[in-house]
Chains A and B, each alone.
Chain A
């Protein structure tokens, strides 16, 4: 009972912290929170114009092909880069409240999740505009996104710990992200690559989520057993590893901050 009420309280705190992040982001604009939907909608419209007219490729429904990858990539980078600095950003709070420290990390990743929901609304509009028909495989999207959430959270734990001890991790990570993005086949078909690079891309955890969602939305296909295994392993194992590392360094983090 006590544990249950504690979790109830944590959930309340996470919701409040998330609300703060979302409200702050557009605090000085006149449309306010409406930007949460407008922003992804406009950027998706612009991106689909670009990918419809400037980079025509042999891929069918190229804008949607790109937007699907973009959606996942954006969510992952937003979650990890914001959660990475959650501890130093909330330092004054951390030393005052008695919650487990990961609340602040969770709130940042959860914020990225809420942003994803807004982006999904924009994405749905784009699907209608481009005449993508409904496929029952689309119903599996929440499963893929949940596993992506686990993976992002796990990575956030690892990055947050690294960032406390070595402040320059955040700069290194942005460089790494650029490399990572080009290896995620966001705007090109994998078949175009050399055999070696194809293996690299297929081993990339993010690509597993991207290709599964693309299959579900564009072709109505399910991921292969291997990709399923990849998604689950990357999601669950990274989360477990991240939590373990974070717990191990917990005491040291407090001293360091």
Chain B
């Protein structure tokens, strides 16, 4: 179906090649040996994380990305958000509009909750003033008031992820939102609360990309699903069809 709108994200033959570390000289000695003796020079073997991926996403679409572990989903997100430059291929996307939501970037166990809000907030792009303003609402959403001057080392893992989720989702909603495994955090009650917040963000932001292992979440939120397997785009279509195909593969 040809669309009259300009696509929000466009990928053409995007390939990402990583060099395997064992194949490259990692010490000066090895490097010098390889200079002197070309026979010993190991052939650079590379690992194809993404193999010629092309797709196009229109404004307003809510796209889920599924695939088994290590299939290249996170690499794909990093390339779209501009953290990683692709080895070859073209990416069209306005990077200033993209927000990659990840949990607990740079959390430090030796710091207090409050200090982590500022450290993590700074890293994911909050300004000092923005954090000062949002601080109380971040704490109350995470239900952690009274624990903020405690070191995160003493938190339970649920408390850590609640705080991380609360900071990450407190930013103003961007034009393009990328969610990398941010759902299914904390206990049942917090999970419901966080899904509600995600839904609100989805409704106010125009284009959303969601990576999740849970096909249930994908089915309930997305309008389209991409299935990436071993670096290749295996399927692209409506959530029901693609999710069913993915689930049957898992059973074999």
Give A residues with C-beta under 8 Å from B: 8-9, 12-13, 15-17, 19-20, 23-24, 27-28, 93, 95-99, 165-169, 172, 251, 254-256
Contact = CB atoms under 8 A, between A and B. Distances in A.
Given A23-B111, A166-B27, A168-B28, A16 B118 contact: yes
A19 B119 contact: yes
B124 A97 contact: yes
A256 B102 CA distance: 23
B105 interface: yes
Given A95-B84, A166-B27, A255-B19, A23 B115 contact: yes
B110 interface: yes
Contacts of B102: 96
A97 B21 CA distance: 23
A8 B127 contact: yes
B125 interface: yes
A17 B111 CA distance: 12
A16 B81 contact: no
User: What are the 9 tightest A-B residue pairs by CB atom distance, in nearest-first order?
Assistant: A27-B110, A16-B122, A168-B27, A13-B122, A16-B119, A166-B28, A24-B110, A96-B105, A93-B106
B117 to A, nearest CB: 10
Given A95-B83, A96-B78, 12 more contacts: A9-B122, A9-B125, A9-B127, A12-B128, A16-B118, A24-B110, A27-B151, A95-B84, A96-B105, A98-B83, A166-B31, A168-B28
A137 B49 CA distance: 60
A70 to B, nearest CB: 29
Contacts of A28: 110
Interface string B216-239: 000000000000000000000000
A32 to B, nearest CB: 11
B82 interface: yes
B146 to A, nearest CB: 21
20 contacts: A12-B127, A13-B122, A16-B118, A23-B111, A27-B110, A93-B105, A96-B105, A96-B123, A97-B123, A98-B82, A98-B100, A99-B123, A165-B26, A166-B25, A166-B27, A168-B28, A169-B28, A254-B84, A255-B19, A256-B19
The DSSP consensus for interface residues of chain A is: helix
Contacts of B195: none
B108 interface: yes
A114 to B, nearest CB: 16
B119 A20 contact: yes
Contacts of B95: 98
Contact of A16 (B78, B123, B125): B123
A172 B27 CA distance: 11
A254 B84 CA distance: 7
A168 B32 CA distance: 13
B29 A17 contact: no
A165 B123 CA distance: 26
B205 interface: no
Contact of B28 (A17, A96, A172): A172
A24 B116 CA distance: 12
Interface in B122-179: 122-125, 127-128, 151
A28 B119 CA distance: 19
